[in-house]
Chains A and B, each alone.
Chain A
Amino acid sequence: MNIMKKYCRDSSGLLFHFAAAVVIFILWRVFGMPFPGTLGRLIPLSWILTGAVYGKGKVPELSKILLAVHLLLSLFWGTGPVVEILAAASGLMGIFPGLLAVSRKRAGILRALIPLIPLIIVLVPFTGDEPHYATITEGFVSPGSGKFGNLTHQRGDPSASVTHHQLLYPALMIPGYPLSSTGLRGMNLLFALGAVMLLSELFRRKGMLNWRYLAVLGFLLVPGSRVLGLVYPGWMALLIFIIGVLVATDSRRTLFTRTSWTVVISLLLVLIKFRFAGMSAGLLLALFIRTEGKRKFVLPIVFAGLIILGLSFDLFTGGRIFWVRYGNMDFLKTLIIQPIFRTPEILLACGASLVDIEAGLLWKAPWILAGLAGLPLLRKRYSDLFVWLGLPALIYFLLLILWTTHDWAGMPTPPGRMLLPVLPVLLASVGCMLREKSVKYLIWVSLGISAVFFTYPHLQFNFADGTDAFVSAFCGQYSNISEWLPSAVRLNVPVFLSWLAAAGVLIWMIAKRSRFASSVIIAIFLLLGCLAGQKRTAWEAEDIPSEYRSYCSIYPDNPDPEWRKFWFFERENMLYMSSSEDAVYLPLPSDCGDSVMLEVAFRSLQSGPIPGIELSCGDFHDSIYISSDVLEKPEWVGYFRDNQLDKRPENLEELHVEFILPVDEREEYVRISPLGVSNTSSEMHGIYLDRIEFK
């Protein structure tokens, strides 16, 4: 009996996780929650696995609270889809305290990863470039077997049969190939595990106290968690990069050894993906900065020699090894032209990486504020880490933005995927701030967001159209929140700058350890909530819910941002009205009085009779017939292509027309419909609505 009691006391954590799994499993069914076959099994399974890896130890207090949150939200799931999402996510989040506690034990990092594996393998769709990489891997093992489909030609490939992707990363996934997509995901989980274990070793060597805890946070927080197990080279590159930093910062080794290793690692990073050349440059620069004595001036000569050697090799192999998407010449031309002609867009992309609602890290990983706030402290306490992790991250980021500008986020792939190289420095930085209350809150809110993504992975796919899937799921189509959120695609300069300023103030407050930082964060969050609930008076046309429109279609009909990649003016989708059946019915604002004024932003493409637009409210109507002119191409485009812009909606001038309509008391809606579109079969002829605003 005593042995039994002792076992229960010592293993209370293990028993709690097992018991919680049973409770969740049964109550999921009692409450009739959706997805009993997937989430209703996977979440209890993750609790069982957490219990198994947890071993001896007390019950994590926070897990109990999160379990209670899950059970209570599960009870209310029938009140709306949002509660259903939160219930499932809180159910998974309950294991996070256990995983973080496990990190301190033997093989803690591996043990912390195990409970997440089933969720990643089963739930995350195999999409985007993943099948593409898998097909290249297949090409090494069993060419043409078509398990992942055929290799499709992508824009910017050297030829129809040769992909622009580097071959080293797909080759490293060969051991996983026999197990199909599961095997490939497994290989990527191994890469992530290796990267995180080495990162924790680096933190340990540099004297950080919470080295294992931080490493597990790397798994659980966006951007790390969103690329966990996905067939993308981010974690692989991070693994190689951390090896480089470990060797280069090992003072027991000679300068020659450290230089040789750094050069090899830099080369490997480029061979993984050309995008990581920025990390290579950062590594070499860090080596130069951190080397003492006159010998360091030999290093630039060595680096220059290596670049010349690499380019000569490239010439010899016909550009196959170091091929950049769209060609090396275009790449170099882009790097020179972008800062000169597209400075505002580059600055916008830099800001968007933090605050943009679709791609920015602030919304998916608010802990980033603490990461940025902790950088001065990191520099002071662990200058080695600051230089060796920070410089490669910075140069990588700048190169990414300079090269890809508005396309830096690589949507529709998961948020933060492209920013994975900044994770190590920000983790190290947040490690210096962990005692702050506001930082703890930010980390736990970020973990909550990660839990939503783990349980509902489809919410992570955005299409660079100004609408965030995560926000849409929480706020719905009728919310006014999109008017107050910063978007680089639907740029509203005051809103965008306000959020940048708010982020700046918060970073400053956290860095200064202000006791009001938490209150300010809560105040901003609540203010946004108050604004979000206001009656809607402006509508982005493509977001108008079906309830308020009849027919119409979205232009372009493919949501993939690749279709809008070479739109030079705006990259928003538009609502295409091409037949007399198409119409929009918007509810009148309750305080509009006896007349209403609307501003309609649209493009009118004439390919037959002149098109027009009509607004009507009851018996009253007003209309205008007009067509848009084709815009001149921007100056910088001329350096890449000579031809004029086609007459397509995205190249047309946007028209802003104000209408004033008398309002009958009985009327509740304003109808907007196209004119001059009957009896025409001309392609693309019609009205392309962008935005409607009640003034």
Chain B
Amino acid sequence: MMSAIRPDRLALTGLASAALFLLRGISGFTVSWALLFIGISFIEKQNRITFISIIAAGISLITGDPNAGTALILTGLLFGIAGSDSLIPRVVFIVSFSVILFEGSITGIIPLFAASFPALLFKREKWRIIALAGGVAAGLLICGLPVASTYRILVHDEILTENGVIWQDPISVNLNHPVVMLEALNMDSADLIIETSAGGVRDTCSAGVIETGGQTFQIMPGSNVLRIREASFPAVITLTRKWQPFNHPVIRIQNAVATP
């Protein structure tokens, strides 16, 4: 049976989707967002679960990070699939999911997508939740933790002094922003000293690397001071550890100094 849609919800959904396409253009993100919102408006008995979906949809628009925005849409539509009693909204949510999958900004969600099909068919909320939880578990086992497929590289704030360039504020790299760049314009070659603390791993292998002008240096767990002669810029610090249960890999760059 076709779900009824209230006029105010219809107006809100239409306006929100139109505004989104007008102001942001058509993309995988905007289409999946509009579908999520259409799905929510089709849910007859709005409850706390759909309220969570609306909040997730709202925050996904506000956030400036497109990967995080997509993850929030995904959260919203998984809640929608679990919480909606009628079939139509669940179908719309799955179409939205497929757009996210096609767009490819988040990796490791195929098992979850597969699990959402049986969830589509179950009438009882409990079974839908179990199916989705199974998808989460299968995803973790098969593909690992869902992460962004591309990242914006963080460029660390540099300060020019009489003796060279310094990066004085601490900055961390972890799985959700795994690359930091140290830039020193017009400085072709310099001695670079970087103070790092790395950890969150359960072995003594390197946590990440520093790449500068074709040279690569390992960052070992614990507190270290690396001195690199004739470093060239940009110097790129990358967390090389991937997700593993019971590991929380992190590299903290306490400070760095480059002297010509």
A527 to B65, CA, bound (A): 18
> Is A631 located at the chain interface by the 8 A CB criterion?
no
- 17 CB < 8 A contacts A-B: A30-B246, A32-B248, A35-B248, A75-B136, A78-B145, A79-B148, A83-B176, A475-B64, A478-B64, A481-B62, A481-B64, A522-B12, A530-B19, A533-B64, A546-B156, A547-B153, A550-B183
* Chain A count of residues within 8 A CB distance of the other chain: 61
The answer to whether B67 and A79 have CB atoms under 8 Å apart is yes
Q: Tell me if B106 and A475 are in contact (CB < 8 A).
A: no
Complex formed: what's the CA distance from A65 to B52 in Å?
A: 9
Alpha-carbon distance A437/B216, docked complex (angstroms): 58
With A475-B62, A530-B19 as given contacts, are A551 and B185 in contact (CB-CB < 8 Å)? yes
Closest residue on chain A to residue B186 by CB atoms: A581
Chain B residue contacts of A65, Cβ below 8 A: 48-49, 52
- Residue A434, interface by CB 8 Å: no
**Chain A residues in 8 Å Cβ range of B243:** 32, 78
Q: Contact residue range for chain B? A: 35 or more
Q: Name A33's closest neighbour in chain B (CB-CB).
A: B248
A36 surroundings in chain B (CB, below 8 A): 200, 248
* Candidates B15, B153, B185; contact of A523 at CB < 8 Å: B15
Cα–Cα distance between A583 and B177 once the two chains are bound (Å): 26
Q: Give the distance in Å from the alpha carbon of A77 to the alpha carbon of B22 in the complex.
A: 30
Q: Let me know if B148 and A78 touch, CB within 8 A.
A: yes
> Shortest beta-carbon distance, A558 to chain B, in Å?
14
Q: State whether A546 touches B65 (Cβ < 8 A).
A: no
State in angstroms the CA–CA spacing of A307 and B139 once bound together: 72
**Please, which residues of chain B bring their CB within 8 A of the CB of A33?**
248
- In the assembled complex, the Cα of A82 lies from the Cα of B58 at a distance in Å of 13
Contacts of B225 in A (CB 8 A): none
CB distance from A516 to the nearest CB of B (A): 6
**A357 CB, min distance to chain B CBs, angstroms:** 13
Lowest 5 A-B CB distances belong to which pairs?
A529-B61, A80-B68, A479-B64, A476-B64, A78-B147
Say which residue of B67, B155, B159 sits within 8 Å of A553 (CB atoms).
B159
Contact B61 A532 (CB under 8 A): yes
**Are A32 and B58 within 8 A (Cβ)?**
no
- Chain A, residues 310-353, CB within 8 Å of chain B (1/0): the string is 00000000000000000000000000000000000000000000
Partner of B68 from A82, A444, A532 at Cβ < 8 Å? A82
User: Which residues of A are interface residues toward B (Cβ below 8 A)?
Assistant: 29-36, 61-62, 65, 68-69, 72-73, 75-84, 86, 441, 444-445, 448, 474-479, 481, 516, 519, 522-523, 525-534, 545-547, 550-551, 553, 579, 581-583
Mask, B1-43, CB within 8 Å of A = 1, is 0000000110010011001101110000000000000000000
In chain B, positions 136-174 with a C-beta closer than 8 Å to chain A are 136, 140, 145-148, 152-153, 155-160, 165, 174
Residues of A within 8 A of B165 (CB): 551
Q: Which residues of A contact B59 (CB under 8 A)?
A: 82, 86, 474
Q: A32-B244, A532-B62 are in contact. Are A69 and B147 (CB under 8 A)?
A: no
Q: Across the A-B interface, how many residue pairs have beta carbons closer than 8 Å? A: 182
**With A36-B248, A73-B71, A80-B71 given, can you name 12 additional A-B contacts, CB distance below 8 Å?**
A34-B248, A78-B146, A79-B68, A80-B63, A82-B65, A478-B152, A523-B15, A529-B58, A550-B186, A579-B160, A581-B185, A581-B186
Q: Are A530 and B12 in contact (CB under 8 A)?
A: no
Query: Of the candidates B19, B55, B61, B155, which one forms a contact with A546 in the assembled complex, judged by CB atoms under 8 Å apart?
Result: B155
Would you call A79 and B75 a contact (CB within 8 A)? no
Q: Could you tell me the distance between the alpha carbons of A84 and B23 in the complex, rounded to whole angstroms?
A: 28
**B208 located at the interface, meaning its Cβ lies under 8 Å from any Cβ of chain A in the complex:** no
CA distance A618 to B146 in the complex (A): 41
Contact between B51 and A550 (Cβ–Cβ < 8 Å)? no
Query: Which residues on the B side are within 8 Å of A534 (C-beta)?
Result: 23-24
Residue of B at shortest CB range from A31?
A: B145
Which residues of the other chain, A, contact B136 by a CB distance below 8 angstroms? 72, 75
Cα distance, A51 to B89, chains bound together (Å): 36
Option from A76, A445, A475 in Cβ contact (under 8 Å) with B63: A475
Asked if B148 and A80 make an inter-chain contact with CB atoms under 8 angstroms apart, the answer reads yes
Residue of A whose beta carbon sits closest to that of B165: A551
Q: Chain A contacts of B210 at CB under 8 A?
A: none
Per the bound structure, the CA–CA distance linking A532 and B64 in Å amounts to: 8
| Smallest Cβ-Cβ distance to B83: which chain A residue | A65
**With a CB–CB cut-off of 8 A, which chain B residues contact A527?**
16, 19
- Quick check: A62 and B48 within 8 Å, CB to CB? yes
Q: Given A72-B78, A526-B19, A547-B155, answer yes or no on A83-B58 (Cβ-Cβ < 8 Å).
A: no
Bound complex: CA A581 to CA B260 (Å)? 15
Of chain A, the residue at the smallest CB distance from B65 is A80
| B54 lies within 8 A of A476 (CB) | no
Does B249 belong to the interface (CB within 8 Å)?
yes
Q: Report which of B106, B200, B247 forms a contact with A79, defined as CB distance below 8 A.
A: B106
Which residues from chain A contact B249 at a C-beta distance below 8 Å?
32
Residues of A within 8 A of B58 (CB): 522, 525-526, 529
Complex interface bits, B225-260 against A, C-beta within 8 A gives 1, otherwise 0 = 000000000000000000111111110000000000
Instruction: List the B side residues contacting A532 at CB < 8 Å.
Output: 61-62, 64
**Which residues from chain B contact A476 at a C-beta distance below 8 Å?**
63-65
CA distance A519 to B200 in the complex (A): 45
A184 to B237: give the CA distance in the assembly, Å: 42
Which residues from chain B contact A73 at a C-beta distance below 8 Å?
71, 75
Q: Which residues of A contact B57 (CB under 8 A)?
A: 526
Q: Mark B173-190, 1 if CB is under 8 A from A, else 0.
A: 011110000010110000
Which residue in B24, B71, B79, B248 is a CB contact (below 8 Å) of A83? B71
Q: Residue of A at shortest CB range from B181? A: A547
A546: B residues at CB distance < 8 A: 155-158, 183
* B64 & A76 in contact (Cβ 8 Å cutoff): no
Query: Which residues of A sit under 8 angstroms from B67, Cβ to Cβ?
Result: 79-80
The answer, yes or no, to whether B92 is at the interface (CB within 8 Å) is no
Is B74's beta carbon under 8 Å from chain A?
A: yes
**In angstroms, how far is the closest chain A Cβ from the Cβ of B148?**
5
> Bound complex: CA of A3 vs CA of B157, how far in Å?
64
Contacts of B148 in A (CB 8 A): 78-80
Determine which of A29, A79, A444 lies in contact with B70 in the assembled complex, contact meaning CB atoms within 8 Å: A79
A residues in contact with B140, CB < 8 Å:
30, 75
The residue in chain A whose Cβ has the minimal distance to the Cβ of B70 is: A79
**How far apart are the CA atoms of A83 and B66 in the complex, in Å?**
11
Cβ distance B149 to chain A, nearest Cβ, rounded Å: 10
